């Protein structure tokens, strides 16, 4: 069951392309995730690489390749499509990041924990 949506950042804090980490409070504890924007589209994923479960970002709030067109794991370099979190290349090729429902309202980005 998904929890209540929680505000994670203001839309203007998120570059395009860009990404930002957040933490959600859930009944099971803190859920670590990130939002990513590209071409005005926003997605949110759990910050856990399907390869080892490690955090994906290579620096604070940095989840994207230099070109800003793909998500890249900073640990072993797996790359993922921004639009659906599908791994295109790397040790977890063919697997997917876990998406979280994301909404934007009045310039505020909201995320719900995944089911
Ligand atoms: S932990 Fe992400 S590619 Fe190995």
Note the pLDDT tens digit of each residue in 6-37. 999 999 999 999 999 999 998 889 999 999 99
CB of residue 87 inside a 6 A radius of ligand 1:
no
For residue 103, what pLDDT is reported? 96
For residue 24, what pLDDT is reported? 94
Domain spans of the chain, in order of start: 6-111
Pair 90, 79: CB distance under 8 Å: yes
Q: Report the chain's mean pLDDT, rounded to a whole number.
A: 95
CB of residue 51 inside a 6 A radius of ligand 1:
yes
Query: Peptide bond preceding 17: is omega within 30 degrees of 0, i.e. cis?
Result: yes
pTM exceeds 0.85 for this model: yes
CATH code: domain 6-111 is 2.102.10.10
Site to substitute for ligand 1 among 55, 63, 78, most atoms within 8 A of C-beta: 78
Query: How crowded is residue 107: how many other Cβ atoms within 10 Å of its Cβ?
Result: 9
Q: Give the end-to-end CA distance of the chain in Å, rounded to a whole number.
A: 5
How sure is the predictor about 2, in pLDDT bands with cuts at 50, 70 and 90?
low
Centroid of ligand 1 to alpha carbon of 107 (angstroms): 33
């Amino acid at each position: 069951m998904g929890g209540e949506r929680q505000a994670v950042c203001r839309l203007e804090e998120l570059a395009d392309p860009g990404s930002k980490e957040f933490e959600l409070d859930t009944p099971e504890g803190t859920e670590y995730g990130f939002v990513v924007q590209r071409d005005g589209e926003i997605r949110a994923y759990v910050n856990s690489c399907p390869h080892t479960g490690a955090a994906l970002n290579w620096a604070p709030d940095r989840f994207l390749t230099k070109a800003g067109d793909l998500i890249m794991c900073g640990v072993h370099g797996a790359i993922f499509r921004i639009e659906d979190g599908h791994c295109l290349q790397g040790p977890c090729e063919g697997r997917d990041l876990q998406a979280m429902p994301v909404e934007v309202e009045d310039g505020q980005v909201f995320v719900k924990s995944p089911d």
